[in-house]
């Protein structure tokens, strides 16, 4: 009998178990080491999870264990708390550990030498500026946060413009003074040049930035700056969580309510929740900030799991904007009288726009829809143009082509119906392009710009747009939710929400919450810099449903009123934040296969419930075709599980999935823990 030294390694493969290798005598490995190991004929990267000894009988030698090839010295080994956090992520989201660990590496190999790039720097070089004199509310909040030691979760709930970012800046200041490092997470869309600018002004060249608008080379360089400790604060979108930061002392998650913290594919993690767990493993404070916290976070705060800090007024007592709600149903009759005005514009908003433009103040209009029109159909035969790959109608862009907003399918727009070949197609609906076109006719003198995914595609586009707004080279800005978040323009004093109904009519139990958040965030862009004696900023919300609760509470700036009402509905229906949800999404190219697998899955779930009393509390919903029943040629079904206890739900999902062998070939069953997107 010989004693063999073994290493258990998580590799980049869809495996639920780690693989076992023999230690390489010339370079013994320990937990956390990044190693090269053989897998089939390939060599893959893996991370050592544990090492052990085993006494091997001679006959075992017939079963050959391969040997670890080498320690990959290019990479820093992962620290134990960081690795424990990664194990938690993999376990909680039911996703292979080896695959999870791959997120810890930058896209390219390590830069050999710094190459000159002709792109502008990722972080601008700026003169340092002094701190603001804090308001009483800011001081109170800052002191309370500073008092806690080690891990604690804080919710900073402050109205838009109350100076939350200033609090974060001062907390990071403290972290650096203690020789520790910080992580600042934001939704991609809020990672604006303005925000990076504010950090660069305060912390000079100590910051690194990671977001999707960077090239692979830029990302890789920024990654190493942090991993090797040259930069002290990492600002990034959700994936920045996976960058190993030495001596992490503070995590801030701004706009914590944003659904874009959730990744929708592969590892379907929620960056905010993972950030809280990272703080726990690293034993450092986690700050969540928002003007409109998610219901989940709010519940944790009022139940005392998080420390709650509230900022009820804007800095320098600047007034909150005045919000007016316009019933678009009543405007229909007025429409005929005023032919000059497009159907989507109320008389009130039109008048306010004229006044603003005269005063040389800026106007921003929000419409959460791109393109010219959502629906193109034939009045003769009723034919409407849908995407051949998805169960979605195509959107008209620029009067020339039709685009699928889900898979990017394009086709030319033809006026004659392609089906009956008799009538001319009718165009219905509204998008940002159409609004822009109408505005140019309505205000020929005004400088008009549009900000949506068609117009603003890179960080350079966004930087240019921000600069133009700041220099008042734009009078009217029309945009999608891209303009609702994080931007701070001193001359912007009128905001119009053209069709508030877009978000609350979605088939999603969070539709009210999302639209309340969007309305509040967008309203918050108006009049951010008006003094206490000036006229407050204005907001006009246009809707066909004035009595919708998200509208009335947004109008009253009443966050708490909104959450209380919304929580009653959620509780009645056992929805989050009261019960946990996990969605199983079944997909394949064949409808029948998809459907039968969905039914099989639901039957398995019921059988497991019957067999084990422990799962009595789990509720099984479905199977049902997903609201978007076909996407990129894949048919989609889902089954939902609800349960008050997350751990029980995790066990249940694992039991239902079993060894995956019951799933037919070519069918995929994807697990989405705490799903945000149920379409
Ligand atoms: P929030 O993040 O809550 O929306 P910000 O931190 O962006 O608010 O603050 C809004 C504006 O007020 C910014 O222009 C910021 O520089 C400024 N500001 C922040 N704190 C103060 C303060 N104590 N006194 C004066 N101005 C402040
Ligand atoms: Zn499509």
What is the 3 state secondary structure string of 402-419? EECCCCCCEEECCCECCC
pLDDT at 428: 86
Q: Which residues, listed in sequence order, are joined to residue 398 by a DSSP beta bridge?
A: none
Ligand lying closest to the C-alpha of residue 139? 1
Phi, psi of 19 (to 5 degrees): -100, 150
Examine the domain organization and report whether 329 and 379 are in the same domain: no
In this prediction, residues 240-258 reach a mean pLDDT of 95
Q: 503, 536, 570: which is the final residue of a domain?
A: 570
In this prediction the pTM is 0.92
**Full DSSP string of 193-227:** HHHHHHHHHHHGGGEEEE-TTS-HHHHHHHHHHHH
Whole-number Å distance, alpha carbon 291 to ligand 1 midpoint, is 13
- Joined together, the tokens standing for residue 451 give 């900000």
Residue 585 lies in a domain: yes
In this prediction, residues 433-456 reach a mean pLDDT of 94
Q: Please state the domain count of the chain.
A: 5
Examine the domain organization and report whether 148 and 179 are in the same domain: yes
In this prediction, residues 427-452 reach a mean pLDDT of 94
Examine the domain organization and report whether 667 and 599 are in the same domain: yes
pLDDT at 395: 92
Examine the domain organization and report whether 222 and 248 are in the same domain: yes
Does the pLDDT at position 29 exceed 70? yes
Does the pLDDT at position 126 exceed 80? no
User: Whose C-alpha lies nearest to ligand 1, atom 11?
Assistant: 161
Task: Give the integer Cα–Cα distance in Å for 586 and 606.
Answer: 17
The single-letter DSSP state of residue 137 is H
User: Whose C-alpha lies nearest to ligand 1, atom 15?
Assistant: 163
User: Whose C-alpha lies nearest to ligand 1, atom 18?
Assistant: 163
Whole-number Å distance, alpha carbon 406 to ligand 2 midpoint, is 5
Q: Higher pLDDT residue, 402 or 2? A: 402
Q: From the alpha carbon of 311, which atom of ligand 1 is closest? A: 3
**Residue in 562, 502, 565, 553 with CA at minimum distance from that of residue 523:** 553
Does the pLDDT at position 117 exceed 80? no
Q: Which residues, listed in sequence order, are joined to residue 326 by a DSSP beta bridge?
A: 542
Residue 608 lies in a domain: yes
In this prediction, residues 20-40 reach a mean pLDDT of 91
Examine the domain organization and report whether 420 and 468 are in the same domain: no
Which pLDDT band, with edges at 50, 70 and 90, does 337 fall under?
low
Mean pLDDT is highest, among 82-91, 113-122, 365-374, for 82-91
Which pLDDT band, with edges at 50, 70 and 90, does 56 fall under?
low
Percentage of the chain modeled with pLDDT above 70: 97
Residue 109 lies in a domain: no
**Residue in 101, 135, 124 with CA at minimum distance from that of residue 267:** 101
Examine the domain organization and report whether 174 and 26 are in the same domain: no
Whole-number Å distance, alpha carbon 634 to ligand 2 midpoint, is 10
Specify whether the CB–CB gap between 641 and 671 falls below 8 A.
Answer: no
In this prediction, residues 316-323 reach a mean pLDDT of 90
Does the pLDDT at position 26 exceed 90? no
Q: From the alpha carbon of 158, which atom of ligand 1 is closest? A: 3
Examine the domain organization and report whether 161 and 252 are in the same domain: yes
* Residue among 161, 292, 317 whose CB has most ligand 1 atoms within 8 A, to mutate: 161
Whole-number Å distance, alpha carbon 75 to ligand 2 midpoint, is 40
- Residues shown for the chain: 679
Which pLDDT band, with edges at 50, 70 and 90, does 57 fall under?
low
Q: Higher pLDDT residue, 627 or 507? A: 627
Which pLDDT band, with edges at 50, 70 and 90, does 308 fall under?
very high
pLDDT at 612: 95
pLDDT at 630: 96
pLDDT at 338: 61
Whole-number Å distance, alpha carbon 298 to ligand 1 midpoint, is 23
Q: 62, 78, 94: which is the final residue of a domain?
A: 78
Residue 130 lies in a domain: no
Task: Give the integer Cα–Cα distance in Å for 477 and 362.
Answer: 8
Whole-number Å distance, alpha carbon 555 to ligand 1 midpoint, is 23
Total Cβ atoms within 10 A of residue 308: 18
In this prediction, residues 646-652 reach a mean pLDDT of 97
Residue 89 lies in a domain: no
* Residue among 131, 139, 166 whose CB has most ligand 1 atoms within 8 A, to mutate: 166
Residue 460 lies in a domain: yes
Task: Give the integer Cα–Cα distance in Å for 663 and 600.
Answer: 9
Examine the domain organization and report whether 364 and 380 are in the same domain: no
Phi, psi of 2 (to 5 degrees): -120, 155
User: Whose C-alpha lies nearest to ligand 1, atom 26?
Assistant: 315
Percentage of the chain modeled with pLDDT above 90: 70
Examine the domain organization and report whether 598 and 497 are in the same domain: no
Task: Give the integer Cα–Cα distance in Å for 550 and 546.
Answer: 9
Range with lowest mean pLDDT among 36-40, 342-346, 483-487: 483-487
CATH number at 281 reads: 3.40.50.300
**Residue in 598, 669, 635 with CA at minimum distance from that of residue 389:** 635
User: Whose C-alpha lies nearest to ligand 1, atom 10?
Assistant: 161
CATH number at 665 reads: 3.30.70.600
Say which residues have a Cβ less than 8 Å from residue 554's Cβ, sequence separation at least 6. 323, 516, 519, 520, 523, 541, 562
**Residue in 264, 240, 268, 269 with CA at minimum distance from that of residue 252:** 240
Q: Return mean pLDDT, the chain.
A: 91
Q: Which residues, listed in sequence order, are joined to residue 304 by a DSSP beta bridge?
A: none
Specify whether the CB–CB gap between 642 and 581 falls below 8 A.
Answer: yes
Q: Higher pLDDT residue, 74 or 135? A: 135
Task: Give the integer Cα–Cα distance in Å for 183 and 249.
Answer: 8
Whole-number Å distance, alpha carbon 492 to ligand 1 midpoint, is 16
pLDDT at 71: 84
Residue 102 lies in a domain: no
Examine the domain organization and report whether 554 and 439 are in the same domain: yes
Q: Give tens-digit pLDDT for 478-532.
A: 999 888 877 889 999 999 999 988 877 777 899 999 999 999 999 999 998 888 8
Q: Give tens-digit pLDDT for 525-561.
A: 999 888 888 889 999 999 999 989 999 999 999 999 9
Q: From the alpha carbon of 198, which atom of ligand 1 is closest? A: 16
pLDDT at 517: 93
Specify whether the CB–CB gap between 88 and 279 falls below 8 A.
Answer: no
Element (H, E) at 365: strand 362-366
Diameter of the chain by CA atoms?
Answer: 97
Does the pLDDT at position 62 exceed 80? no
Structural domain containing residue 523: 319-369+432-570
Residue 337 lies in a domain: yes
Examine the domain organization and report whether 439 and 536 are in the same domain: yes
pLDDT at 501: 86
Does the pLDDT at position 2 exceed 80? no
Q: Which residues, listed in sequence order, are joined to residue 323 by a DSSP beta bridge?
A: 539
Whole-number Å distance, alpha carbon 134 to ligand 1 midpoint, is 9
Which residues have CB under 6 Å of ligand 1? Answer: 132-135, 138, 158, 160-166, 315-316, 488
pLDDT at 531: 84
Burial label for 105, CB within 10 Å (0-12, 13-18, 19+), is buried
Task: Give the integer Cα–Cα distance in Å for 184 and 241.
Answer: 9
- Joined together, the tokens standing for residue 266 give 């592969």
Whole-number Å distance, alpha carbon 676 to ligand 2 midpoint, is 21
Phi, psi of 241 (to 5 degrees): -55, -30
Q: Give tens-digit pLDDT for 570-602.
A: 999 999 999 999 999 999 999 999 999 999 999
Ligand lying closest to the C-alpha of residue 394? 2
Phi, psi of 396 (to 5 degrees): -80, 130
Q: Give tens-digit pLDDT for 150-203.
A: 999 999 999 988 999 999 999 999 999 999 999 999 998 777 778 888 999 999
Which pLDDT band, with edges at 50, 70 and 90, does 114 fall under?
low
Examine the domain organization and report whether 206 and 146 are in the same domain: yes
**Residue in 288, 267, 38 with CA at minimum distance from that of residue 185:** 288
- To the nearest 10 degrees (0 to 180), the angle between helices 193-203 and 459-470 is 80
């Amino acid at each position: 009998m010989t004693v063999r030294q073994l290493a258990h390694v998580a590799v980049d493969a869809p495996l639920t178990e780690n693989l076992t290798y023999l230690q390489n005598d010339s370079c013994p490995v320990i937990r956390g080491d990044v190693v090269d190991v053989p897998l089939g004929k390939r060599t893959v990267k893996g991370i050592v999870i544990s090492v052990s000894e085993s006494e091997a009988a001679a006959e075992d030698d017939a079963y050959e264990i391969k040997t670890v090839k080498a320690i990959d010295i290019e990479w820093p080994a992962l620290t134990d708390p960081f690795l424990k956090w990664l194990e938690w992520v993999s376990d909680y989201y039911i996703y292979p550990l080896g695959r999870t660990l791959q997120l810890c590496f930058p896209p390219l190999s390590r830069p050999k030498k710094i190459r000159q790039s002709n792109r502008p720097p990722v972080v601008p070089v700026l003169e340092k500026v002094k701190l603001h004199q804090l308001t009483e509310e800011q001081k109170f909040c800052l002191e309370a946060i500073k008092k806690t030691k080690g891990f604690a979760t804080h919710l900073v709930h402050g109205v838009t413009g109350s100076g939350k970012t200033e609090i974060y800046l001062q907390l990071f200041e403290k972290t650096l003074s203690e020789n520790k490092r910080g992580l600042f997470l934001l939704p991609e869309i809020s990672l604006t040049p303005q925000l990076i600018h504010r950090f660069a002004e305060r912390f000079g060249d100590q910051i690194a930035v990671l977001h999707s608008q960077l090239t692979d080379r830029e990302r890789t360089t920024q990654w190493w700056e942090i991993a090797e400790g040259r930069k002290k604060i990492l600002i990034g979108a959700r994936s920045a969580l996976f960058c190993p930061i030495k001596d992490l002392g503070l995590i801030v998650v701004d706009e914590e309510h944003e659904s874009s913290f959730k990744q929708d594919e592969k590892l379907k993690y929620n960056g905010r929740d993972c950030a809280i767990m990272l703080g726990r493993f690293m034993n450092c404070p986690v700050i969540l900030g928002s003007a409109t916290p998610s219901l989940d976070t709010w519940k944790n705060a009022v139940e005392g799991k998080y420390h709650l800090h509230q900022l009820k007024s804007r800095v320098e007592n600047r007034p909150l904007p005045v919000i007016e709600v316009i019933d678009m149903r009543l405007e229909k009759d007025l429409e005929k009288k005023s032919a000059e005005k497009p159907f989507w514009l109320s008389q009130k908003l039109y008048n306010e726009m004229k006044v603003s433009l005269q005063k040389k103040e800026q106007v921003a209009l929000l419409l959460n829809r791109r393109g010219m029109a959502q629906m193109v159909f034939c009045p003769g035969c009723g034919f409407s143009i849908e995407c051949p790959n998805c169960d979605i109608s195509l959107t008209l862009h620029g009067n020339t082509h039709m685009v699928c907003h889900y898979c990017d399918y394009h086709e030319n727009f033809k006026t004659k119906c392609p089906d009956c070949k008799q009538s001319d197609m009718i165009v219905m609906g509204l998008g940002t392009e159409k609004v822009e076109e109408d505005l140019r006719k309505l205000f020929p003198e005004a400088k008009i710009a549009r900000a949506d995914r068609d117009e603003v595609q890179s960080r350079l586009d966004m930087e240019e747009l921000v600069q133009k707004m700041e220099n008042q080279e734009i009078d009217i800005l029309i945009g999608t939710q891209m303009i609702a978040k994080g931007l701070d323009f001193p001359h912007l004093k009128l905001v119009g929400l053209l069709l508030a109904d877009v978000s609350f009519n979605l088939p999603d139990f969070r539709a009210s919450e999302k639209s309340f958040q969007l309305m509040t965030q967008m309203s918050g862009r108006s009049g951010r810099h008006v003094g206490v004696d000036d006229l407050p900023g204005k907001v006009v919300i246009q809707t066909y449903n004035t009595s919708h609760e998200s509208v009335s509470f947004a109008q009253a700036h009443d966050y708490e009123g909104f959450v209380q009402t919304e929580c009653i509905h959620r509780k009645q229906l056992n929805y989050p934040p009261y019960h946990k949800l996990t969605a199983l999404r079944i997909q394949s190219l064949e409808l029948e296969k998809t459907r039968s697998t969905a039914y099989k899955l639901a039957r398995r779930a019921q059988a497991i419930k019957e067999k084990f009393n422990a799962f009595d509390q789990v509720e099984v919903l479905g199977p049902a075709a997903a609201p978007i029943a076909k996407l990129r040629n894949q048919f989609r079904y889902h089954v939902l599980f609800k349960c008050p206890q997350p751990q029980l739900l995790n066990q249940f999902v694992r039991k239902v999935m079993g060894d995956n062998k019951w799933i037919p070939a070519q069918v995929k069953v994807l697990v989405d823990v705490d799903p945000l997107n149920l379409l």
